[in-house]
Structure 1
C-alpha cells in the first residue's frame, strides 16, 4: 500500500460548505474511489492559510491517473469549483507532496 499526499487551496470563508459537501459525499464517488484502490482518505484544513492537506492510501498510485476520465469525478470537481482553487477542467489545483518521514 502506498501513501499519497497533496495540498489544495480552499477559498476564504468556505470551510463549513466544504465540510458539508464532504459530509454528504456522493455514494457513487465513494464507490469509484474504492474501486480505484483508495482507502483511508483524509483531508485536513489549516485555517490560518485555508490550505487543504489530503492524504490517502492507494494500492497502485498509477491508477489515480485514470480518475479524471470518470464522469462522476468530473461532476464532483465542477460541484466543488466554486469553493476552491480549480484548473480550467474543473479539477482542483493540487500539489503533490513528497514523503520525507514516516513512522509506522
Structure 2
C-alpha cells in the first residue's frame, strides 16, 4: 500500500466555507473516491490555510486517473476551484511529499 501526503493552500478568506463544504461531502463523491482506490483519506487544515492531505492507495497515479474520469469529480473540482491559492485544479496540484520516516 502506498502512503501519500500532499500540501495545498486554502485561501484565508475561504477557510470557514472550506470546512463547511467538507463537513457534508457529496455521497456520490465519497463513493467515487472509494471506488477509485482512495483509502484512509484525511485532510488537515491549519488556521493560515495550509492544507495537508493524506491517503493510502495501491497506485496514486491510477487512483487520480480513476477520479479524473468521473463526472462527480469534475463537478467537485469546478465547485472547489476558488477555495485554493493554486492556479491549477487541486487534483493537479497534489504533489506527493517524500516519506522520510514511518513507524510501523
Same fold? TM cut 0.5 = yes
Q: Residue 32 of structure 2 corresponds to which residue in structure 1?
A: 32
SS in 1 for 2:84: coil
**Larger helix proportion of the pair:** 2
Give the aligned CA root-mean-square deviation in angstroms: 1.6
Shift of 1:12: 1.0
What stretches of structure 1 of length at least 5 have no aligned partner?
Answer: none
Counterpart in 2 of 1:52? Answer: 51
- Using the TM superposition, give the Cα deviation of residue 87 of structure 1 relative to its aligned residue in structure 2, in angstroms: 4.0
State how far apart, in whole Å, the 2-side matches of 1:29 and 1:85 are.
Answer: 22
Q: Structure 2 unaligned segments of length 5 or more: list them.
A: none
The count of corresponding residues between Structure 1 and Structure 2 is 101
Matched, 1:5 2:11: no
Q: Secondary structure at the match of 1:14?
A: helix
TM-score by length of 2: 0.85
Q: Tell me which protein shows more strand as a share of its residues.
A: 1
Asked if the contact 2:2/2:58 (under 8 Å) is kept, the reply is yes
2:13 alignment partner, SS class: coil
CA distance in 2, matches of 1:21, 1:36: 21
